[in-house]
Amino acid sequence: MKLALRADLLDFTATPSWGSPTMDGVRFRPDHWLLVDGGRIVGAGPAATLAPGPDWQRHDHRGRLLLPGFIDTHVHCPQLDVIASWGAGLLDWLETYTFPAEQRFVDPDVAADGAARFLDALLAHGTTAAVVFSTVHSAATDALFAAAQQHGMRLVTGKVLMDRHAPDGLRDDVAGAERDCEALIARWHGQGRNTYAATIRFAVTSTPEQLAMAGELGRRHAGLYMQTHVAENLDEVKWVAALFPEARSYLDVYHRAGLLHERAVLAHGIWLDAHDRALLRETGAHIAHSPSSNLFLGSGLFDWQAARDAGHRVSIASDVGGGTSLSMLRTLAEAYKVQALRGTRLNAWTALHAATRGAAEALGLAHEIGHLGTGTLADLAVWDWSHGPVAGHRDAVARGAVPGLPAQDLHARVFAWMTLGDERNLAATYVAGRLAAGSTRGP
Ligand code: GUN
Ligand code: ZN
């Protein structure tokens, strides 16, 4: 199947500069055809000079922006039920809202409905790949993998490990959890685009024995990911210190269990110190920064500058249902505000890179997703530059279409799009070259 997509193409060839925006690493190709064959990107060329022949199906999105599909590196499938729940910090929020919602996923029908709704929602927000928390239930995790396989999406997920400090119906034990994980790995790990992650909720809800078992799983199975939460909330940090007095820090609890490596994704990492950041760099583990969740739950302000100075990777995540939107554009707009409160101005290139190529690199998947390079799978999202009259006017200002105001540079235009945009700007999502949400137009 040969498909040609016409749009303004934006992606990254390298890590953009921090601080003041420059065009380093930014590749912008206005009004180009992107050529997709057999689900993979095979080339691109200016619409002025390249005319795809009659054997190419054409989707003409001219005047729109086309980026690699977003990668959400930390999000909870069962928590669509509790997004936007009032009045609680992390530990209360888990008890009051989240655990009861996750208990419902013991019912296979609830789990199948939930998985379908969740993946449809990701695609409708322009997110084509994700690192996802399921629930403690094996069957619910099967449902999520099965739904992802139907979409042909790149999904990293696993059954949540919790053998203490969790309510009835959400606790496992070391031996049973190990059996469940092995069976899920045998069924799904490396099947199509599905990949398994040893999924530790957080150090509070796993015994040292369970953490050690999760570390073993990672050593036993090539390519296995590890995902968890770390240093999100000060009460949580205190609790972990009391539970693991032998550990130097919260992050060190995971290190001692052999859980930090290049496929380890740790959400939040707000309350880390310089030792922790050096450990992240040395092990290749990375932080999934979740700004809307951190603001909503009142957890704290992530220090991206310190992460950068320490040389460890940072990706961007919605963390729904602690986060308040699956939109990675909204998430990036929140990231800008968090850094502004820390006295740093995040540029749009760094932000968008962290949600595309940067995330793919942090996950070891840049050969497959995250940019528009030849040979990668055509996981793409096409966006309107604006939605509604206010954003439309702002975009006209950036383009120099408002008399008396000078045209602005590309960064200014993209920053305004990123700050004002959300899923209403989405025109179409493609997974491996197949339309997966939205619609096309043109011949
Ligand atoms: N820490 C442990 N569990 C969770 C969760 O579900 N969401 C968030 N944001 N933090 C957690
Ligand atoms: Zn989370």
Q: What is the pLDDT of residues 21-80, one digit of tens each?
A: 999 999 999 999 999 999 999 999 999 999 999 999 999 999 999 999 999 999 999 999
Residue 300 sits in the same domain as residue 160:
yes
Confidence class for position 440, pLDDT limits 50, 70, 90: confident
Same-domain pairing of 327 and 381: no
SS3 107: coil
My answer on whether 74 and 62 are in the same domain is no
Q: Is residue 301 part of a domain?
A: yes
Residue 369 has pLDDT above 70, yes or no: yes
Tokens of 307: 């992460």
Domain match, 321 and 344 both: yes
* Count of structural domains, the chain: 2
Q: How far is the CA of 94 from the centre of ligand 1 (A)?
A: 7
User: Would you state the structure tokens that stand for residue 217, as one six-digit string?
Assistant: 């799983």
Per-residue pLDDT tens digits for 330-353:
999 999 999 999 999 999 999 999
Of ligand 1's listed atoms, the one at least distance from the Cα of 319 is: 9
Answer whether 328's CB lies under 8 Å from 127's CB.
Answer: yes
> Ligand 1 pocket: which residues have CB below 6 Å?
76, 90, 94, 98, 201-202, 229, 232, 293, 319, 322
Q: What is the CATH number of the domain that holds 140?
A: 3.20.20.140
Determine the pLDDT at residue 442: 53
pLDDT digits (tens, 9 = 90+) for 127-172: 999 999 999 999 999 999 999 999 999 999 999 999 999 999 999 9
Asked whether residue 212 falls in the same domain as residue 266, the answer is: yes
pLDDT digits (tens, 9 = 90+) for 230-279: 999 999 999 999 999 999 999 999 999 999 999 999 999 999 999 999 99
Ligand showing the shortest atom-to-Cα distance for residue 319: 2
Same domain? For 35 and 161 the reply is: no
Residue 443's pLDDT is: 44
* Closest approach atom of ligand 1 to CA 204: 2
Closest to 382 in 3D by CA, of 65, 9, 154? 65
Q: Longest C-alpha distance within the chain, in Å? A: 70
CA of 229 to the centre of ligand 2 (A): 6
Q: State mean pLDDT over 394-420.
A: 98
- Cα 421 to Cα 72, 161, 287, 372, 387: the distances in Å are 17, 36, 25, 21, 7
Q: Atom 3 in ligand 1: which residue has the minimum CA distance?
A: 201
| Residues 94 and 215 placed together within one structural domain of the fold | yes
56 CA to middle of ligand 2, Å? 42
Q: What is the CATH number of the domain that holds 417?
A: 2.30.40.10
Mean pLDDT of the 211-227 span? 98
The residue segments making up the domain with residue 350 are 70-362
Asked if residue 186 belongs to a domain, the reply is yes
Output the average pLDDT for the chain.
98
Strand partners, 32: 7, 46
Q: Please give the distance, rounded to the nearest whole angstrom, from the Cα atom of residue 76 to the centre of ligand 2.
A: 6
Q: Which ligand is nearest to the CA of 293?
A: 1
